[in-house]
Every structure is written in C-alpha cells, then in structure tokens.
Amino acid sequence: MDGILLVDKPYGITSNDLTVKVRKKLQEKVGHTGTLDFAATGLMILTVGKATKLTEYFQGLDKEYIAVGELGKITDTYDKEGKILEQRECKISKDQLIETIKSFQGTYPQYPPPFSSKRIKGKRAYQLAKKGVEVQLKPKIITVSKIDILSVDLPFFEIKVSCSSGTYIRTLIKEIGDKTSCGAYLFSLRRTRIDGYHIDEALPLESLLKMSVGQIKDMIIPLEKSIRFLPKVILDEGFDKRFLYGQRFKVPFDKIGLVQVFGKGGDFLGIGEIDSQDILKPQKVFL
C-alpha cells in the first residue's frame, strides 16, 4: 500500500489529527505534506507506506485557495477563531476594494501571523502567543501569482488565490484590510489545489473512514503515478541497478534538476537529480 492519498479535510480538525485517523484506519505508515489550519478545509496530500520517503518533494508546491474575508474587524489570530481586538467603520466602494485586492499580486516579503506553527527556539509561535509572549517572526518571500475576485457583498469578499508554498492567506486578508484602513480577518478558507492535484480528486475524510481498507487502497495513487510535477527519465538495463546502489553516472537526457527515475520495465526506481554535467545522482531509491 504505497502511494499518495488525496483527502478533503473537514472544518475543526488539525492536520495531525487527520493523519492519525487515516493511519489507524490503514494500519500503515502515513504522513502529510503540509498543514491546513484547524478552521480551514480542503485538499491534503497524504503519503502512504514507502511514499512517506517522498514527503519533502510535495512540500514546496504551489497552492490555490478560496478565501472569504470580512472587512471592519481585526482579530488576534487574523481569522474568526480569534478574539476581536478592534472594530472599525468601513467606508469603501466595491471598485476600491477590488483595486486594493488586485494590488497584492506579485512577489514580496510576508510576515507569518503570530498564531502560527512556526518554531521559535523550539516552541510553536501560537504556543507563545497564547501566553501573551510577543513573537518576532521573520518574513518570507512569497509569490501571489493570481487573485480572482469571486464575489463582493460588503463587508464580505470572496477571492481565489494562486500562490507559492508558505503563503499565509490569513496574513493576506489582514494586509488587504490594513491597506483599505478598514481592517479585515479571514472568515473561511478552503484549499482547492496543490500544483496539479485538485480537490475534485479528494475523498472527504468522513467518507474515507467509512470505507473498507480494500476500497481505500484502490483510491491510493501508486508511487509510479504520484509525482506528476517532476519530469520522468527511463534508464537502460544495467543502469537501473547502478541507480539503486546509489552510484552516480552520466546520462543522455536533456534535463537538469530533480527527476523521477524508472527502469526499462516500467518499475519506479526513485528520485534523482541531474546536474549541469549530465550526472545523475540518486536522491531516494526504492529497492
């Protein structure tokens, strides 16, 4: 039972709790490739069995979210789970709001929210924030490649955001609120896409837990089909064994960077990296 499982996370459960539930159901090693907030719903990619060795390769993929923000309120967590710190009168037109939202497309540094899972000297930022400790989080360069305005019904607005890994939508909504001088918080959040994996392919957690292990096994995307985002190379006979034994060697492929590696017979051998000298170096192998 080796591969990835696409799961639709429900509201009100942590990513770790979801992973534990699936692990107990399958009685198999299961890992997740990136967290979703307790109050968020949507797509999670779980790695199962031998695929847990590939978790790191999924963590930097671009994401897509549908988010609803409400203007006129500021919370300590930047979402509706937090305490309201301030309420403001908000006088802004629909066109002004749309122009402000669109201004956040681009690449720029973004500060994580104080209530986040970032670690500070071994402690999670949210653990310190709950104790009233002021946390100093470092900004990260993120890219918001596209924002679509789905609806505006003031004080609410709904947007679809395509962005780089590590982007905090809670912070984005707060920043939109700051720029309008109205303040804003994240009312709801749903992750709809991770790179080429879409929420339409995912199983709702509640449905998954009612299925038999055999039925779930049929829904697992096998190793050889799971890493859609990396180019594929096929090694000639003899070189497959060299790859599995961890040897480096020159290859005739016009590719640089990470690749998924297959043998002539179609067996998935693992992940390798081709350098500028056309040398293939094994990264993860599956004997």
Q: Which residues are catalytic?
A: 37
Q: Letter for the amino acid at 26? A: L
Residue 146 CA to residue 104 CA, distance in Å, equals 9
* Radius of gyration, alpha carbons of the chain: 22
At 179, which helix (H) or strand (E)?
helix 169-180
Give the number of other Cβ atoms within 10 Å of residue 236's Cβ: 10
Residue 269 CA to residue 134 CA, distance in Å, equals 48
Helices 169-180, 94-102: axis angle to 10 degrees equals 130
Strand partners, 157: 69, 152
Residue 254 CA to residue 232 CA, distance in Å, equals 11
Residue 163 CA to residue 180 CA, distance in Å, equals 22
Q: Letter for the amino acid at 100? A: T
Closest CA to 15 of 53, 48, 46: 46
Hunting for tokens 């309201």 — which residue is that? 84
Closest CA to 168 of 151, 198, 191: 191
Strand partners, 188: 68
Length of the chain: 287
Q: Letter for the amino acid at 44? A: M
Residue 71 CA to residue 199 CA, distance in Å, equals 28
Do residues 264 and 234 lie in contact, with contact meaning Cβ atoms separated by under 8 Å?
A: yes
